[in-house]
Amino acid sequence: MWRTVVVALLVVLPLVGADGSSLLEAGGVPNPARRAQLQAEVVHRLVTAGLLHHQPLTLVTGSGGDGVALSGALHWQLHVTIHHCAPCDNATLYRVLVAPKDGLKLVVGDLTDFHHLGAVKPHHWIGGEVVLLPAPAVPCRWLFQLPLLSKAALPLCVEVPLAGDGAVTVHQRGYDSSVRSEPASRLLAGEPHSLLDRNSYHGRPFEAYFVDFKPYFVCGDAIQKAGALCQHPLPGPDALILETFAARVNLTLRFRRSPDGGWGQIVDGTWTGNVGEVWRGRADAAVAGLFVNGERAAATQFSAHTFLEEVALVSGRVPLGQQVSLGGLLPPVSWAVVAGLGLLVALGGTLMSRLDPAAAGRQLLRQVEDAFRGLWAQPVTRLPADTPRRLLVGVWSAACIVLSTALVTGLAAKLTAPRVYWSPMTLWDAVEHDYQVVTHAEYGAYDAAMLAPQGPLFDGLRARWVKGNNLRTMYRMLDPSDRVCLLEEVQYYITLRHRLIIETEGRVHPESIRLADQRAFTFLVGFSMQRNTPLLGRLNALISRLHAAGLIQHWMRLMRRTDELRVTAALQRAQRPPRVSALPLSRLRATVELLVTGWALAAAAFGLELLVHSCLGRRRGEKPLPQSGHN
């Protein structure tokens, strides 16, 4: 059963009992025992009629009230607590009535001095259920207007006439402040009546203040003004949760836009935003991805959490410098193999010169050249029979083939390799690389999260921390030279990324913005509501059932469906035929080095060959000197 807040004020009862016996003793002195019996009888009959629930009882007795006698006459089967105050002041009544505790709360005594007591805080409901049984001279309608009872839900009041022939009447104040009255005899007889039961809220208005914050809540109205009602909320998780709840308990749900566009924080000692509206009693709930923190929980009361939100760094990509050199085309092991093959060629040439004395006078390069031509121009069966020469040519050819293949393969791999990018993945990365850390100016919960922790890491973050606009910050991230990152909720980061791609018509690729691996903070998300509100228990039960069914996550995915389709269409429109683009000079460095090295070696070989041929030509052109003979 739904426990609501009703103020129970049992006071001085009529002067005539239910059986016609007088409640006054001789000399006009009140009969306390008879009065307690009548009070107990009325309470039990209200429970029987279903207007009160049988639950733990709290008695607050003031002047003229006897809590002990009433407790004995009730024979209450559950726990009974008695508080006596004469006269009752605000402190005592606040401690008992506004306590976050359900139950039946009765205040017994003279209520004529209650008019000087102040009202409860606007964001506090009175906890418990109530009946007003005033003295004959105190009308129920006057009691209903007391500031003390302004936050009581469906308070009851029983009027007993001063004369014995009058009918006992039960009054009830509704959620719309109207008063309904029924004869007690009709309730006791079980006849139909107009009094409201506590299982329904009978169309009571429920004001939920919001901020557009996808995927939690978005208003679909074309014209949106601060403080205006939202006529067409989109089917997001917060709207669907409250709409389901309102339909179950018969509430008139109204979504109203935040007057200042904020969720709520303390500014100059006063709450702003949606939390401020709840704190001032104007709103029943603040919705749209509201974080739970200590300050908000102390000012209002939160529902069961609807989501567990994580906060992480969002930043752009920084391209790393990538220069391909000749030495980087091959790994060190490959260069060692090439050097070993060259050494084998040199050793083979030396060995061949020593094993072939007849060819010792010929030039080694000429031998290799002749052997190489013979290797590639003749079949294998017609190769020269010179084993050392074949060994030298085979090793040298293998070296040339391996080296050229390795260089070409390495060059192709380096030129076609994708570019390497870097982004700060942790908070330390942002501090060490001197990134500016931005938080959205309207997020009130981030201030406490950034200011509370101590240590070198958060000292560095606070030194680089500024407040700004989250979407403008994401546009700044597209410039690799701008070292800026954003602390953002993971769910809303997806929304911002979708918005960025849609606004740029697909020119921004999803990989241009990165989400860090490390989660900086974790927050519970829920509805901020007035303290002791009678709605909280049933709302929490509904949220638990929705979590178990997986509907909240499903509704969040549905909220993103439209944006995902628009992002896909924008990216498809942005796709164009590939254009011929030149590779950057840093990627062509190895090619240039390889060509220059080849040209230099070719020129050196050509020069050496000219020098050798010139020297050989001179020797061939010299005629031998005539030898002198002896006659």
Q: For residue range 507-543, what is the model confidence (pLDDT) as tens digits?
A: 888 888 999 988 888 899 999 999 888 888 899 999 9
In the predicted model, what is the mean pLDDT of the chain? Answer: 76
| CA distance linking residue 405 with residue 396, whole number of Å | 14
Q: For residue range 199-256, what is the model confidence (pLDDT) as tens digits?
A: 778 888 999 999 999 999 999 887 778 778 898 899 999 999 999 999 999 999 999 9
Mind giving me the DSSP string for 18-81?
TTS-BSB-TTS-B-HHHHHHHHHHHHHHHHHTTSS----EEEEE-TT--HHHHHHHHT-SS-EE
> For 26, what's the count of Cα atoms within 13 Å in the CB-facing half-sphere?
0
Residue count of the chain: 631
| CA distance linking residue 580 with residue 572, whole number of Å | 20
- Beta-sheet pairing, 179-183 with 169-173: antiparallel
Alpha-carbon separation of residue 25 from 61, 172, 219, 558 (angstroms): 22, 32, 68, 73
Determine the structural domain holding residue 398 and report its residue range: 332-416
Q: For residue range 293-340, what is the model confidence (pLDDT) as tens digits?
A: 888 998 899 999 999 999 999 998 888 765 556 566 666 776 677 677
Contact 126, 7 (CB under 8 A): yes
Per-residue pLDDT band for 37 (boundaries 50, 70, 90) equals: confident
> What is the model's pLDDT at position 524?
92
| CA distance linking residue 558 with residue 548, whole number of Å | 18
Which H/E stretch holds residue 467? strand 465-468
Contact 544, 244 (CB under 8 A): no
The beta strand positions in 226-360, using DSSP E, are: 229-230, 251-257, 266-267, 270-271, 285-291, 301-302, 307-316, 318-319
Contact 255, 229 (CB under 8 A): yes
DSSP 200: -
pLDDT at 619 over 80: no
Question: Where does residue 437 fall: left (phi above 0), alpha (psi -120 to 50 degrees), or beta otherwise?
Answer: beta
> What is the model's pLDDT at position 18?
41
**The one-letter amino acid at 426:** T
Whether residue 581 is contained in a domain is answered as no
Whether residue 51 is contained in a domain is answered as yes
Residue at which a domain ends, from 389, 416, 443: 416
Residue at which a domain ends, from 188, 207, 239: 188
Residue at which a domain ends, from 416, 435, 468: 416
Whether residue 179 is contained in a domain is answered as yes
Contact 473, 444 (CB under 8 A): no
Whether residue 240 is contained in a domain is answered as no
What residues contact residue 595 under an 8 Å CB cut-off, 6+ apart? none
CATH number (domain holding residue 146)? 3.40.50.2300
Q: For residue range 139-179, what is the model confidence (pLDDT) as tens digits?
A: 888 888 887 788 888 888 877 666 544 577 888 888 888 89
Which H/E stretch holds residue 253? strand 251-257
Q: Considering the entire predicted model, what is its pTM?
A: 0.72
Whether residue 108 is contained in a domain is answered as yes
Q: Quote the number of domains for the chain.
A: 2
- Hey, how many other C-beta atoms are within 10 angstroms of the C-beta on 258? 24
Secondary-structure percent of the chain, ordered helix, strand, coil, rounded to 5: 40, 20, 40
- Locate 198 and state its tokens: 């506590």
> Percentage of residues in the chain with pLDDT exceeding 90?
22
SS3 state at 625? coil
> For 303, what's the count of Cα atoms within 13 Å in the CB-facing half-sphere?
30
> What is the model's pLDDT at position 541?
94
Whether residue 479 is contained in a domain is answered as no
Sheet with 131-133, edge to edge strand ranges = 9-10, 131-133, 156-159, 169-173, 179-183
Whether residue 63 is contained in a domain is answered as yes
| CA distance linking residue 10 with residue 14, whole number of Å | 12
> What is the model's pLDDT at position 64?
64
Both ends of the chain: CA-CA distance in Å?
A: 152
DSSP 208: E
Torsion angle, alpha carbons of 45, 49, 52, 57, to 10:
30
Nearest in space to 482 (alpha carbons), one of 494, 493, 468: 468
Q: For residue range 439-491, what is the model confidence (pLDDT) as tens digits?
A: 998 887 888 888 888 889 889 989 999 999 999 999 999 888 889 999 999 99
- Hey, how many other C-beta atoms are within 10 angstroms of the C-beta on 346? 14
**The one-letter amino acid at 326:** L
Whether residue 112 is contained in a domain is answered as yes
Q: Can you tell me which residue has the tokens 């003749």?
A: 378
